[in-house]
Structure 1
Amino acid sequence: MKKAAVWLICFALVLGKSNVVAAHLPHVIEKAVTVVKRPEISQAFYADLEGEAEIYRIVSARDFFLHVGLLVPDLPHMRKDFLVEILSRKEDKWEQLSLLDGNSHTWNKFFEPFAGDRYWQGPEISKQVQAGEYLVWVSNPDNEGKYVLIIGKKDSFKLSDLLATIKRLPQVKLFLAKNPWTAYFNLMGLFILLAVSAGIAIILLLYRLVKAKL
């Protein structure tokens, strides 16, 4: 059991060195307006335009580093003509902060090793912004098609985020037209297996230590 804990630590270090652990916290979106919490944390919003544009609202009480990027699943007949308009509220009006145009961008294939999925990588922007309210407006001429909106770049190592990722991965696989059971046949599944083994080892070790003192 002690070996499992050692292997978990070693595996986590390897993931960190290879940037695999920097996987985005996933969200599967089913509504037109989404409030983005903790916009500096790396998050992926999986969505499908169904006749209307989709809006992501950010409100921050402090200055923060804004990163917005666009991915499209590497599936047949996926469209890439998305527009991502980023608006900043100035007093009583909205001003355009940036515009990401999928039509004018050269898309490149991208493999995400942590979950084992393939995407087309589109335009992105990163910049320091002031505290305030922002809107990220995603659309295309017909308001149809699947996309993944990336917001934030900072890695999160909170246990709650890890558990949320584990829970949502089957939904992500369904979004990507895959069997949900494949959600854990990858580095994520190996990490979970090692984490569970290490957790059991730690519990047993603590139990033995407490029992020895009684």
Structure 2
Amino acid sequence: MAAVVLVHGLYHRPEHFAMVAERLQTVGTEVVVPELHRGSLVADTAAVQAAVDALQEPPIVLGHSYGGSVITGVRGARRLVYLAAFVPDAGESAAGLGGASPKLQGAISPEPDGSTSLHPDRAAATLYGDCPGPLAAWAVALLRAQAPGCGRGVPERHSWKHTPSTYVVCAQDRAIDPGLQREMASRCTDVREWQTGHCPFVGQPRLIVELVRELLATNTSRSQDEGATTTR
């Protein structure tokens, strides 16, 4: 069965991908959405690696925002998809590449235990500004506090250097500058640009479903063609 692993970013939860996951499952795709917030980039990467290793076939692995740093360190993907995400090279971290925009930084509130959270109104405007009000409110209510330091983590490997990759630039993003996204996209095999905000899996899940299905079909067709060539 075709499979996809969806990797959320900072402050987010697997539930934010619910609409994408449900639609992909409806068309027969196996979907896994690991929980991050393991305390470090190394631990988050290990959680996603375990999800990839548990699947029978190499999956498409999609990372959103900080999730790009996570999937960069993962082995065994058939394709990587960076959704408004960081694409670190050797020695680089999400924070070092540019990190959060001033708008997103302005939404971050420190907590007494050293973690941070997002101010609800500012988070709605920054992350979900292109979503209807009730949908943005649903997404904001799911956000959780974030332990410090993950954004400064440096991946131990760089899978985009030897795995096919697609970058999706979100041109109306207020959380990660679209110009920075375009710079990072130059490291990937294929680039798309959508007129969306930072979180299209909330506002326009159809776009992600269509992209994943297209990439799965392209990969399958290529494998069949290669098999036919080998047979001849």
What band does the TM-score fall into relative to the shorter chain?
A: under 0.3
Greater relative contact order structure (CA < 8 Å, 6+ sep):
1
Larger strand fraction of residues: 1
**The structure with more radius of gyration:** 1
Larger helix fraction of residues: 2
TM-score, normalised with respect to structure 2: 0.25
TM-score, normalised with respect to structure 1: 0.26
